[in-house]
Chain A
Amino acid sequence: MEDSIMEESEQKLETEVAPALIAIHPAQKSVSVSVGSDLRVFNLQDGTGFKLVDENGGHKDSIRAIRYSKSGHLFVSAGDDKLVKIWDTNSWRCIYSVVSEKRVTSIAISNDEMFVCFADKFGVVYVVEIGDYHCENPALVIKKAVPILSHYCSIITRLEFSPDGQHIVTADRDFKIRVTIFPKNPLDGAHEIQSFCLGHTEFVSCLAFVNSQDYAQGYLISGSGDSTVRLWDYASGSLLDTCEVGAKAELLHSNGKEEEILPAITDLYATSDGLLVAAAIQSLSGIMLLRCDLSARTLSVAKVISVPGETFIPTSIGAASSVPLLWMVMGASSLHNNNSTLLVRVRVISGFTATSSKSIEHETSILEDREVPGGESLLEILQGKLSIGGEAFSTAAEAVKTAMRNLLIKKQYSAERREVRKKGRNDKKNQIVE
């Protein structure tokens, strides 16, 4: 009994650790990083940090999702404080605040920027109508959200609109990806399911679309706790290819230790031409690049880019579609056994493109801190400080990994343990007395 209480409280502490997130303005005008309840935005145009204006004083708890709209006019942040904040990226003022009933896990903005959708920890997806946000009303507006669809009591891990805006895709911890038609009037609910993409054998952690001019509708790719990245025809829900990246990452990066659970994919980002996909993988210091062949409908490992000198395991990645730079962040909130409770490290990879030639072998490189756009002043704003002690990285990596596992993997009890728990049940207690 006692040890189970201990265990639960331990887990509670661990799940509070939230990974740092990064989002890049679509024209690379600014870079945003969130860690814990902190939201840090760097203005790449004049090389300074933006001062965020929010009447309610920003987020009160860990931010779990950040995102720019397609045009870059809007920015949305949301998280454990059950608030969705919609920012105007010209003034960096919070223009709308939406109260959610539960903790928010993921957000998406419709391609026409009329609607913001967010998902909560109980599997419900809500929609908020934005309408005309150019109104000159300087006061913060509280908006109300309407539920449109739900995964039955499963944590929704990612929310994404299809490239044509016709579908909204939701991924959950019950291995499912649901593709739903996004209706013209979403406030009436999204009832028509296009397909389910089923094949993952663990929680689905991230989604991305790959499309090109020849394949405008595009394909869906997903990363999962089962250590695979999969390619889907999302209109029919059929699985086109499975790339066992975990096994590959282990081979290329084996440090002698045998992991009992294959590393989960934490984030995916595809280039706008749909040829290259970057995958962040737990326990892989660096990034894995996958090549996507849309005509053959295959996905294969192109190369692994390791980060020299530090254990840099990205928790979130992003890029601006027009710039061949891949931005990566590693970080975590609430590290208890550390003086600095927040760790953030930003790195950038150049040559993140595959258009010029079929080969990407010699084109990618990890930029030194000085070479990063915005230079060291960007790092100072986003990281909080320039130099970070080496041991902080491994602590953060471990904490983020455990938090993700506790949140998304079902607890497996041994047979005896289950029996013990059953005996503790009120209706069983009486039987034993008999």
Chain B
Amino acid sequence: MLEHESTPNTTHSKTTGLPRKRFYRARAHSNPLSDSHFPVPISPSQFDYTLHYPQLFQSSDQSDGSKKIEFADIGCGFGGLLISLSTLFPNTLMIGMELRDKVTEYVKERILALRTSNPGQYNNVSVVRTNSMKYIPNYFEKGQLTKMFFLFPDPHFKEKNHRRRVISPHLLDEYAYVLRGGGIIYTITDVEELGVWMNSCLENHPLFEALSEDELEADPVVKLLNTATEEGQKVARNDGQTFRAIYRRIAFESNGKVKARTFCARF
């Protein structure tokens, strides 16, 4: 990071020190089905916290394991939500996961620049380039996360590409596995078709239940979904409509009986 300051960086804005997006353009779509060639931790215990949160984890107490990542922004894009969450939850570790390497690079630089210009802040946020659809269990243990975000994911309109969607009935099993009982999954999109799809996937999954209107109102994070991300701001500028589905992971119980209870409660 010191090195970073001393050398003038052409990809960064001279006034704010933040990276400029024009140098990190990437294609909007990436194929999640293709073979990955980036390194992936063998298991969650191999995930290097000292590398991602150097101010909070010194190499000596790496295996301490007392503090773990609790928020995951899947497909974090340019990282707008993470940056907002970082100051809203300064004591929670959070990570963005993004498949496009250039975009990941941008978020990485953005976080480093923010850490430099705001000492003591943004130390709880990091980003990793990975395919979350394939490798989520390599990063998080069972019940580790309290919040997962899926904001403005790729809609994949064609029916034959529906299996590329990041919210799907079978992938929800894995998200339910890494989420703690009571943990919340946030989804939002400006594509109605995808919004309906994501909602029905969650609605029909036996391990998730919808948050009530009151709960949505009381949750400060819900407001950020539209305002914090680059994609959300774009939609707002165009007066676009958004569709969100926000569900809670039902606490671990013996399988089978859980959904029946919530089903009765809702109807």
With contacts A153-B33, A184-B256, A189-B169 taken as known, whether A198 is within 8 angstroms of B137 at the C-beta atoms is: yes
Q: Interface residue count for B (Cβ, 8 Å)?
A: 29
How long is the Cα–Cα vector from A147 to B134 in the complex, in angstroms? 18
Contact of B176 among A175, A184, A192, A198 (CB under 8 A): A192
Asked whether, in the complex, the Cβ of B176 is within 8 Å of the Cβ of A124, the reply is no
Task: Decide yes or no whether A358 CB sits under 8 A from chain B.
Answer: no
Contacting A at CB under 8 A, from B108-144, are 133-135, 137-138, 142
User: A148 — nearest CB in chain B belongs to which residue?
Assistant: B170
User: A413 — nearest CB in chain B belongs to which residue?
Assistant: B37
Question: Which residues of chain A come closer than 8 Å to B134, judged between CB atoms?
Answer: 152-154, 174
Asked whether, in the complex, the Cβ of B138 is within 8 Å of the Cβ of A149, the reply is no
A115 CB to closest chain B CB (Å) equals 16
Number of A-B residue pairs with CB-CB distance less than 8 Å in the complex they form: 70
How long is the Cα–Cα vector from A201 to B42 in the complex, in angstroms? 7
Question: Which residues of chain B come closer than 8 Å to A153, judged between CB atoms?
Answer: 32-33, 133-134, 163
User: A123 — nearest CB in chain B belongs to which residue?
Assistant: B170
Task: Decide yes or no whether B20 CB sits under 8 A from chain A.
Answer: no
Asked whether, in the complex, the Cβ of A199 is within 8 Å of the Cβ of B43, the reply is yes
Asked whether, in the complex, the Cβ of B33 is within 8 Å of the Cβ of A191, the reply is no
Question: Which residues of chain A come closer than 8 Å to B35, judged between CB atoms?
Answer: 410-411
Contacting A at CB under 8 A, from B152-198, are 163, 169-174, 176-177
B74 CB to closest chain A CB (Å) equals 13
Q: Which A residues are within 8 Å of any B CB, using their own CB?
A: 122, 124, 147, 149-150, 152-154, 174-176, 178, 180-181, 183-185, 188-193, 195-196, 198-201, 237, 410-412, 427
Contact of A176 among B27, B137, B207 (CB under 8 A): B137
Contact of A199 among B42, B163, B173, B206 (CB under 8 A): B42
Asked whether, in the complex, the Cβ of B170 is within 8 Å of the Cβ of A149, the reply is yes
Question: Which residues of chain A come closer than 8 Å to B255, judged between CB atoms?
Answer: 181, 183, 191-192
Sort A-B residue pairs by CB-CB distance and give the 6 closest, nearest first.
Answer: A150-B170, A198-B43, A193-B177, A196-B137, A410-B35, A152-B133
User: B206 — nearest CB in chain A belongs to which residue?
Assistant: A191
Sample of 9 A–B contacts (CB below 8 Å): A122-B163, A147-B170, A149-B170, A152-B133, A174-B134, A178-B137, A198-B42, A410-B35, A410-B36
Task: Decide yes or no whether B52 CB sits under 8 A from chain A.
Answer: no
Task: Decide yes or no whether B100 CB sits under 8 A from chain A.
Answer: no
B36 CB to closest chain A CB (Å) equals 8
User: A180 — nearest CB in chain B belongs to which residue?
Assistant: B173
How long is the Cα–Cα vector from A257 to B191 in the complex, in angstroms? 59
Contacts A189-B169, A192-B176 given; 12 further ones with Cβ under 8 A?
A: A152-B133, A153-B163, A176-B137, A180-B173, A189-B173, A190-B173, A192-B173, A196-B177, A198-B43, A410-B36, A410-B37, A411-B35
How long is the Cα–Cα vector from A185 to B32 in the complex, in angstroms? 31
User: B252 — nearest CB in chain A belongs to which residue?
Assistant: A192
How long is the Cα–Cα vector from A196 to B138 in the complex, in angstroms? 9
Contact of B207 among A178, A184, A191, A237 (CB under 8 A): A191
Task: Decide yes or no whether B102 CB sits under 8 A from chain A.
Answer: no
Asked whether, in the complex, the Cβ of A183 is within 8 Å of the Cβ of B43, the reply is no
Question: Which residues of chain B come closer than 8 Å to A185, judged between CB atoms?
Answer: 256
Question: Which residues of chain B come closer than 8 Å to A181, judged between CB atoms?
Answer: 255
Task: Decide yes or no whether B205 CB sits under 8 A from chain A.
Answer: yes
Asked whether, in the complex, the Cβ of B138 is within 8 Å of the Cβ of A198, the reply is yes
Asked whether, in the complex, the Cβ of B142 is within 8 Å of the Cβ of A195, the reply is yes
Asked whether, in the complex, the Cβ of B176 is within 8 Å of the Cβ of A193, the reply is yes
User: A183 — nearest CB in chain B belongs to which residue?
Assistant: B255
Question: Which residues of chain B come closer than 8 Å to A411, judged between CB atoms?
Answer: 35
Asked whether, in the complex, the Cβ of A175 is within 8 Å of the Cβ of B42, the reply is yes
How long is the Cα–Cα vector from A411 to B37 in the complex, in angstroms? 9
Contact of B170 among A124, A198, A199 (CB under 8 A): A124
How long is the Cα–Cα vector from A395 to B170 in the complex, in angstroms? 41
How long is the Cα–Cα vector from A184 to B260 in the complex, in angstroms? 15
User: A122 — nearest CB in chain B belongs to which residue?
Assistant: B163
